């Protein structure tokens, strides 16, 4: 169970939990540790080049190329949040980014030994301009596979005694989609009934019809939406 409100300790506890759930070791880092200067609305990211930054900036923590998450911690440590609020936001960011790892086939085998400079440049650009999230479709990079993985990871963390806010982890209005809670409901008991399987195997099974129907309805509805205005900044992005 994860109890500490100290962000560094909480990070270490969460890393152990997610390593168990994902079935592979990962890094969870803070942007401040990596010396990343991030665009103001970026809250977190995962990228194949992040482990190269760990090797460069945190050699004592480096154990080889692994999937990695970076949490932008400027706001979390600024006093903007009370300790429990900062912990809640941290948990949500990590859950979101771990869902990207679970669905993007990011494994240690494809993590480059050195890709640090291009990544340092990338994080200074608004995330909507990244290739993986760009285009007129608001949910690009956050499709049905991502949402399903998010729900499964959320359940597995809760089953280990760690509650994380699905609402904070998935800003559905930003993507023009239904809430993660609604998607979790549409999975019925899939998360519980398959939590004994390795996560990758559970996610390889056919999606429940109710979940697929909700996704299809969302996609049709989202085609009538327009991209978020560049001036809109009322939602935390990650």
Residue 223: CB atoms within 10 A of its CB come to: 10
pLDDT at residue 232 tops 70: no
The answer on pLDDT for 231 being more than 60 is no
Question: Rounded to an integer, what distance in angstroms lies between the CA atom of residue 29 and that of residue 61?
Answer: 10
Helix, strand, coil fractions of the chain, as percent rounded to 5: 50, 5, 45
State CA 8 to chain mean position distance: 18
| Beta strands 44-46; 68-71: pairing state | antiparallel
Tell me: the pLDDT tens digits for 181-229? 999 999 999 999 999 999 999 999 999 999 999 999 999 988 774 444 4
pLDDT, position 211: 97
Residue 149 has pLDDT above 90, yes or no: yes
Token pair for 87:
């912990």
Q: What is the pLDDT of residues 89-143, one digit of tens each?
A: 999 999 999 999 999 765 555 445 555 557 777 776 666 666 665 666 788 889 9
Strands 27-30 and 68-71, bridge-based pairing: parallel
Are the CB atoms for 141 and 133 separated by under 8 Å?
Answer: yes
Question: Tokens representing 57?
Answer: 């900036």
Question: How far are the Cα atoms of 86, 133, 161 from residue 8, in angstroms, in the given order?
Answer: 12, 29, 19
Q: Give tens-digit pLDDT for 54-84.
A: 988 999 999 988 899 999 999 999 989 999 9
* Cβ pair 76, 92 in contact under 8 A: no
Q: 228: which DSSP letter?
A: P
The percent of residues above 70 in pLDDT, for the chain, comes to: 82
Output the pLDDT for position 76.
94
């Amino acid at each position: 169970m994860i109890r500490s409100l100290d962000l560094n300790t909480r990070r270490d506890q969460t890393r152990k939990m997610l390593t168990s759930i994902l079935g592979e070791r990962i890094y969870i880092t803070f942007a401040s540790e990596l010396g990343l200067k991030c665009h103001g609305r970026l809250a977190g990211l995962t990228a194949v080049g992040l482990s190269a930054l760990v090797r460069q900036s945190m050699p004592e923590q480096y154990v080889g190329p692994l999937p990695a998450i970076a949490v932008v911690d400027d706001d979390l440590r600024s006093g903007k949040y009370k300790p429990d609020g900062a912990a809640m936001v941290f948990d949500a960011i990590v859950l979101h980014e771990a869902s990207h790892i679970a669905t993007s086939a990011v494994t240690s085998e494809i993590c480059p030994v050195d890709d640090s400079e291009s990544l340092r440049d990338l994080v200074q650009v608004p995330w909507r301009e990244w290739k993986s999230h760009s285009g007129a479709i608001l949910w690009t990079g956050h499709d049905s596979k991502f949402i399903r993985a998010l729900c499964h990871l959320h359940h597995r963390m809760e089953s280990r005694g760690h509650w994380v806010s699905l609402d904070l982890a998935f800003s559905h209005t930003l993507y023009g989609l239904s809430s993660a809670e609604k998607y979790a409901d549409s999975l019925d008991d899939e998360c519980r009934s398959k939590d004994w399987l390795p996560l990758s195997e559970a996610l390889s099974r056919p999606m429940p019809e109710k979940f697929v129907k909700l996704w299809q309805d969302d996609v049709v509805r989202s085609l009538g939406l327009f991209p978020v205005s560049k001036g809109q900044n009322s939602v935390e992005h990650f």
